[in-house]
C-alpha cells in the first residue's frame, strides 16, 4: 500500500516522508473530508509525535501537487481535505450539518468553453461548490 503513496509523491516531485505517507493512507481510508485538526487527532491517536503545523504544511504541499483537494466550509471558514478524485466532481455542501455530497455531473462544459473563448483564456480546471441545506436539515 505504501508503494502507491510513494509513487504519487515522487510523481509530483515531493519528498517521501513517513508523515506524508501516513496522511495519504488516512485520507485514502476515509470516505469523508477531514480537517487538518481531524488528521492531527487521528495521527496522535496512533501515538505518533507530530505537530499540527506539520500537518498544515504537509497538506498544503499535497494540495499544491494536486494529490489532495479541498473544500471550504463557507460558514466556518474551515478547510477540509480529501484525496483528489480520478474523475471530475463538484460538491453540494450543507450549511447546517456540513454534509458534503459529491456531484459527478458537470454543467460547466459549454459555459467554460464560451467564457474561455470570450476572454481568450486557457481554462485548465474548475471547481464548483454549491451551498445550501440537505434534505435532513430542511426537514428539521
pLDDT in tens, 6-43: 998 999 999 999 999 999 999 998 878 899 999 999 99
Q: Give the integer Cα–Cα distance in Å for 14 and 10.
A: 6
Specify whether 65 is located in the same domain as 16.
Answer: yes
pLDDT at 38 (0 to 100): 92
* Helix ranges restricted to H, 1-140: 2-11, 18-29, 36-45, 52-65, 109-118, 135-139
Of the candidates 27, 28, 3, 29, the one whose C-alpha atom is nearest the C-alpha of residue 16 is: 3
pLDDT at 124 (0 to 100): 82
- Ranges of residues in the chain with a pLDDT under 70 are 1, 74-76, 85-87
pLDDT at 135 (0 to 100): 93
3-class SS at 35? strand
Specify whether 94 is located in the same domain as 76.
Answer: no
If one counts the domains in the chain, the total is 2
pLDDT at 30 (0 to 100): 84
pLDDT at 75 (0 to 100): 65
Containing structural domain, residue 123: 86-140
Q: Report the DSSP pairing between strands 90-94 and 129-132.
A: parallel
Specify whether 62 is located in the same domain as 129.
Answer: no
Point out which residues pair with 93 in neighbouring strands. Answer: 100, 131
Specify whether 29 is located in the same domain as 71.
Answer: yes
Asked if 55 and 36 touch (Cβ cutoff 8 Å), the reply is: yes
Q: What is the CATH number of the domain that holds 131?
A: 3.30.1490.190
pLDDT at 20 (0 to 100): 92
Amino acid at each position: 500500500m505504501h508503494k502507491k503513496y510513494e509513487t504519487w509523491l515522487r510523481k509530483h516531485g515531493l519528498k517521501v516522508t513517513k508523515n506524508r505517507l501516513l496522511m495519504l493512507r488516512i485520507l485514502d481510508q476515509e470516505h469523508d473530508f477531514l480537517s487538518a485538526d481531524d488528521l492531527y487527532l487521528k495521527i496522535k491517536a496512533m501515538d505518533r509525535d507530530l505537530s499540527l503545523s506539520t500537518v498544515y504544511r504537509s497538506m498544503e504541499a499535497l494540495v499544491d501537487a494536486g494529490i489532495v483537494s479541498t473544500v471550504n466550509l463557507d460558514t466556518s471558514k474551515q478547510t477540509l481535505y480529501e484525496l483528489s478524485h480520478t474523475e471530475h466532481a463538484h460538491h453540494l455542501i450543507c450549511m447546517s450539518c456540513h454534509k458534503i455530497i459529491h456531484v459527478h455531473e458537470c454543467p460547466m462544459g459549454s459555459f467554460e468553453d464560451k467564457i474561455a473563448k470570450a476572454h481568450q483564456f486557457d481554462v485548465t480546471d474548475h471547481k464548483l461548490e454549491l451551498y445550501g441545506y440537505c434534505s435532513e436539515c430542511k426537514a428539521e
